[in-house]
Structure 1
Amino acid sequence: MNRRLAQGYQGDSRDPEHPETTAVVALGANLGDRAATIDEALRDLGRMPLTTEVRAAAPIESVAVTVDGPDADAPGYLNTVALVTTRLAPSVLLGYLHAIEARHGRERRERWGDRTLDLDLIAYGEVRSSDPGLLLPHPRAAERDFVLGPWLVVDPDAVLPGVGRVDALLENLSGGGS
């Protein structure tokens, strides 16, 4: 099921100084009312300035991934992926994602720990960045079925820039690749 949120700025996408770009944002939560948090975070994405559309896959359940690998004993995650049509620069968009996380009680205490909300900028158009503060595309996206699966739901032709087609990446993860 796709969701369409068309709140926010309705500017001229033909403005060459600030062209619209599709950003891929992964959302996850494993603490509190996960579904309500994901729904509200999607609404928050739609309220960002210079953002004209947010489309997201229905959330899926996944096992928590910790520094030591998958942990079936940890609280499970609810995950989805949203395509965000925006004219925000990638670094500005990342700042908004962090602010949305904070508004939902996200605390960064331990790497890959439990969280009320996690928003990851997976891709921003074709932009590639090796800046430690803004790695694009997300360096572990190709390894995460809970990112790739929902992404395919909202964009069956999705491509992870510099890596490959999302359907092929997901097939490789499931053991179907060569």
Structure 2
Amino acid sequence: MRRKIIYLFVPVFALLIQWPMGAMAQQVAEGMGDRYIRVAEIGELADSVNVWGDVGSSGRYIVPEGTNIPELLSFSFGYTQLRGNESNIDWSKTQIEVKVSRYNKQRKLVEVAMFRYRYHDPEPVRMFEFDLQNNDIVSVQVRRKPSFTDYVGVVAPVVGVIATSFLLIENLRGNN
């Protein structure tokens, strides 16, 4: 009787263990494919390019061969809003940096091109002429000059801690 129970228990136990593992493997495989974005048509010559930083959708893009940087930025939904608690951003003080890196023959990562310009200025012509290659890394950073509220946000807590410490020390001296 015990043997029959064991013979029935082992296959059921194996199925119970295997099912979650298979489901987990499927979820991992699906999750890994989330950041591969195919823009190129099936059968079209394509390059895989990494887009990182302050863009609407970063990830690894499969783009048509000969894609330039403005096209790639369009595929990745352009520049993102600056992070923070500001609702209205003064874009006139905003600077965009686009850096393209790739591996050389010695398998070392080198910067190939760097484009800096203000948001309201026209994009540099070289960005339109620059053809991306397979496995290029395009990093985008949106910067802005600090405003008065940024400085206040840094200085006010420091002044508050100093004032509180001073009042605490004075209060402790007065109680002795």
Structure 1 or 2, whichever has the larger Rg, is: 2
* Same-fold call, TM cutoff 0.5: no
Q: Whose RCO is larger (CA < 8 A, sep 6+)?
A: 1
The structure where strand makes up a greater share of residues is 1
The structure where helix makes up a greater share of residues is 2
TM-score, with structure 1 as normaliser = 0.22
